Structure 1
Amino acid sequence: MSGVQRVSTGAPWEARVGYCRAVRSGPHVWVAGTVAVGGDGQVHGPGDIEAQARRCIAIIAGALEQVGADLSHVVRTRAFATDMSADAQAAFARAHSAAFGAHPPVATLVGVAALAAPEYLIEIEADAFVSGS
């Protein structure tokens, strides 16, 4: 694969901020920080970090699919959480493990003071490598 492939979800903030959901160049794929936005544009799973993490991962999976990759190609995740309690970390771990347990990437979970809106509890970004490309 030559050149750069960009994927957009069409979310209004992509144009405002000047970014896209994912970029693929050769075997490398980068997926932007992703919050739990539902199909209706509203926050998915308010107050539920596990539901939000699962939604973030589903959005990431959709972006990967558009560039010929899937979750098994993910080699690194970075997650930013507004709640670093043991319960919140366990909830995030359940969602992450469900998606990546069979092919674990390196991963980082960082506590942050806030995300784009107070209802968002987690934001996840991912890097992937598609061998043989």
Structure 2
Amino acid sequence: MNDRREYSTGTTWEETFGYSRAVRIGDQIRVSGTSAVEDGEVVGVDDPYRQARHILETIGESLAELDAGPEDVILTRIYVADFSLWEPIGDAHREFFGDVRPATTLIEVETLPRPELLLEIEAEAVNH
């Protein structure tokens, strides 16, 4: 029995690379690395808090499409272009998840797909 469900936001990157924004198999959900881009434009240029909030809201919408929510997230991985931006990103993460408090890893990377992007977040969730 194949209980795989995929969700796509229809971005060019999803089509070009052949991936889904999120995939659910059984009670496991994975949300692909998500950046602060909407309609081809970077949201919150030079604002790590705003970018993080936008990303987390996109992740929340992706989870909702697969019958889950932020309360089901058990892990986030945050890729940052500059580790010194951790505080506003952490503020957005804490506000979004509240008492859920998923396990989290913050990783500094050399570059992201566009220079205006300050971070990218991926998530894993379990929803029974």
Q: Which category of TM-score, normalised to the shorter sequence, fits these structures?
A: over 0.9
Q: Specify which structure has the higher proportion of strand.
A: 2
**Which digits, 9 at most, give the CA deviation of each residue in 1:79-116, with x for residues without a partner?**
0000111xx11101100000112111100000011111
The question of 1:113 aligning with 2:99 is answered: no
Shift of 1:37: 1.1
Shift of 1:2: 5.3
Q: Which amino acid aligns with 1:93?
A: G
User: How does 1:33-48 map onto structure 2 within 5 Å?
Assistant: 33-38=33-38, 40-48=39-47
Partner residue, 2:94:
97
How many pairs does the alignment contain?
A: 128
**Which digits, 9 at most, give the CA deviation of each residue in 1:17-67, with x for residues without a partner?**
0101000001000000000012x3200000111110000001100100000
**What TM-score do the two structures reach when normalised by structure 1?**
0.93
Partner residue, 1:24:
24
- Stretches of 4+ aligned residues off by more than 4 angstroms: none
* Gap runs ≥5 in structure 1: none
User: How far apart in 2 are the matches of 1:2 and 1:107?
Assistant: 30
**What TM-score do the two structures reach when normalised by structure 2?**
0.96
User: How does 1:66-105 map onto structure 2 within 5 Å?
Assistant: 66-85=65-84, 88-105=85-102
Shift of 1:10: 0.4
Aligned-pair identity in percent equals 40
